[in-house]
Amino acid sequence: MTLKETISNDIKTAMKEKNNALRDALRLLSSAMKQIEVDERKELSDEDVIKIIQKQVKQRNDAMTQYRDAGREDLYEKEASEAAIFETYLPQQLSDEELETALRAIIAETGASSIKEIGKVMGAASKALGASADGKRINECAKKILG
């Protein structure tokens, strides 16, 4: 079963269980996926769905920061719960130690020796690590190692 089908089935389950928060969050996700399918006229693969979910989580995290700064705890909580729901559909994230170990291997592989070559490292790391680590975390860890 594809990730898209899993989300669709989970929407149905949430509707049966009258879990409105889960249903609404998953409908938002489903809507984002359908929008991409219509705009790009293609069937989404699991990899495409993961990228959409990551984008939605990032949007929720950005909104959470803004709501917290504005003192809107009610809206902050709503965004936090949606982000938590979306994250359940993402692959398991690497721990900091696992990420650092993987990046050290990638840096050795690419031959990067200074912070100026971080682009080379980021490109290789994004391909190698895929959805198991966020780009921001990869960048911060790579800078720490190279710096």
CATH number, domain with residue 21: 1.10.1510.10
Specify the pLDDT at position 17: 97
Rg (CA), the chain: 18
In which domain, by residue range, is 128 found? 96-146
CA dihedral over 53, 54, 56, 57, signed as positive or negative: positive
**Same-domain pairing of 8 and 65:** yes
Regions of the chain with pLDDT less than 70? none
Is 108 in the same domain as 75? no
Do 102 and 72 fall into the same domain?
A: no
Rounded Cα–Cα distance for residues 116 and 30 (Å): 40
Residue 43: its pLDDT value, please? Answer: 93
Per-residue pLDDT tens over the stretch 19-61 = 999 999 999 999 999 999 999 999 999 989 999 999 999 999 9
- Number of structural domains, the chain? 2
Question: Are 41 and 67 in the same domain?
Answer: yes
- 16 and 72 assigned to the same domain: yes
